[in-house]
Structure 1
Amino acid sequence: MTNETDKHWYVVYTQPNAEKKLLLAVSKLHLTAYLPLREELKQWSDRRKKITVPVFKSYLFVYLDYAGIHRVKALPACVDFIHFGGYPSIFPDAEMQLLKAIMAVSNNVQTKPSHLVKGDRIKLFTGALSGYEGVLCADPQGKKVAIAISKLNMSLMLDVPLAHMVKIDTPSARFNQSQPDITRRCYE
């Protein structure tokens, strides 16, 4: 059984468009939370404006001990924690470090479900993301790499120069040649 004083990263599912509100409420409880944000250009009928939106809609990452879980669950904007096996699922520290490293490199990322990406498996060999593996996806404006955040069953899409990656020769076990082509391609 886990010691209640141990802290871990968890993922909270929020009410729609309430990620920033929950982040503020969690911060007021003096608890640690992380909300990755990206910039988006929003078009209205009379103007255009850059706004910041969450990378993962309706998700907030919180660093808590067991008692903190109940404190966050009591907040109005919290729907529930992501569960596996009936208990709040611990988000791995390695994936949190990866997520923070990606966000430090670029805030121009997109999310895609991991099972929708197609292409060569690649490994980044230079820069802040050196050593991480991903999938190269075709993109009309250039080359994008999908890096999986497996606990959420999603990938982050980011621009990476071709000179920063090498192809990994082993085919991905995730993609089976018998799958329909639509499940193996990146959506533009």
Structure 2
Amino acid sequence: MNKIAVESDVRKERSSFVNGTNDREAYPKRWVAALVHTNCEKKVATKLEKLGIENYVAIQKEEHQWSDRKKKIDRIVIPMVVFVRLAKDEEDEFRRLPFIMKFITYPGAEELATPIPDEQIEQIQFLLKHSESPVTFSAHIEIGDAVRIVKGPLKGFIGHCCGMSNSEIAIHLALLGYATTHVPKDYIEKIIM
């Protein structure tokens, strides 16, 4: 490069500074969670890679035993979720992709997408890579939340969480008064009523 071209690049770099940052620093990339269609996580990740978009699907390798053989499979740990690393100004355009349903955000959040700290993504990756037992994720359920039982003999029942312990949850049965039953946490899902 000649001296004039170098000086021109330096001037462009200086002129791109706004409030002490340049364009790349003004919108740093951050992880966000995108909701995709069921069983499409790997396909979406492949499409995003072709578009040059950094992404991560929470997958854990598991060995399954059949009567005649063993096979290692990839199990999607967080169904319908693809983590994507985007700058805030890229989110609106990303949302328009036909295979992205929406961003996952906190209820009432004003931002288009709720950022996820890099450390949390790194912790998920480490946990899934090194855990010897299956890793499961469950919704954060608090006392008073409406819940639906999704497995077992009470499947379909709707109630309210009224207490928790390490392996069970108590459900308030509205029609019967304050009765409780214990249901394993992985048998329930939080619902919005």
TM range (shorter): 0.5 to 0.7
In the TM superposition, residue 50 of structure 1 has moved relative to its aligned partner by 3.2
Counterpart in the other structure of 2:120: 95
In the TM superposition, residue 113 of structure 1 has moved relative to its aligned partner by 1.8
TM-score scaled to structure 1, two decimals?
A: 0.54
The answer to whether structure 1 residue 8 and structure 2 residue 30 are counterparts is yes
Specify whether residues 48 and 22 from structure 1 end up closer, same or farther in structure 2 by C-alpha distance, changes over 3 A only.
same
In the TM superposition, residue 47 of structure 1 has moved relative to its aligned partner by 7.3
In the TM superposition, residue 9 of structure 1 has moved relative to its aligned partner by 0.6
What is the SS of the residue equivalent to 2:32?
Answer: strand
Q: Which has the higher contact order (CA 8 A, sep 6+)?
A: 1
Map Cα deviations across residues 148-187 of structure 1 (whole Å, 9 max, x no partner). Answer: xxxxxxxxxxxxxxxxxxxxxxxxxx9579x62736x565
In the TM superposition, residue 73 of structure 1 has moved relative to its aligned partner by 1.8
Specify whether residues 83 and 186 from structure 1 end up closer, same or farther in structure 2 by C-alpha distance, changes over 3 A only.
closer
Counterpart in the other structure of 1:124: none
Map Cα deviations across residues 117-159 of structure 1 (whole Å, 9 max, x no partner). Answer: xxxxxxxxxxxxxxxxxxxxxxxxxxxxxxxxxxxxxxxxxxx
Specify whether residues 114 and 82 from structure 1 end up closer, same or farther in structure 2 by C-alpha distance, changes over 3 A only.
closer
What are structure 1's unaligned runs of at least 5 residues? 117-173
Taking the TM superposition and a 5 Å limit, the aligned residue runs for 1:2-81 are 5-40=27-62, 49-81=71-103
Residue among 85, 88, 109 paired with 2:134: 109
Distance in 2 separating the partners of 1:26 and 1:14: 12
CA RMSD of aligned residues (A): 3.5
In the TM superposition, residue 77 of structure 1 has moved relative to its aligned partner by 2.2
CA contact (8 A) 2:34 2:103 kept: yes
Letter in 1 for 2:75: V
CA contact (8 A) 2:77 2:136 kept: yes
In the TM superposition, residue 110 of structure 1 has moved relative to its aligned partner by 2.5
Q: Percent identity?
A: 24
CA contact (8 A) 1:4 1:66 kept: no
Specify whether residues 30 and 94 from structure 1 end up closer, same or farther in structure 2 by C-alpha distance, changes over 3 A only.
same
Specify whether residues 109 and 7 from structure 1 end up closer, same or farther in structure 2 by C-alpha distance, changes over 3 A only.
same
Q: Which has the larger radius of gyration?
A: 2
TM-score scaled to structure 2, two decimals?
A: 0.52
Q: Which has the higher helix share?
A: 2
What are structure 2's unaligned runs of at least 5 residues? 1-24, 142-162, 171-180, 188-193
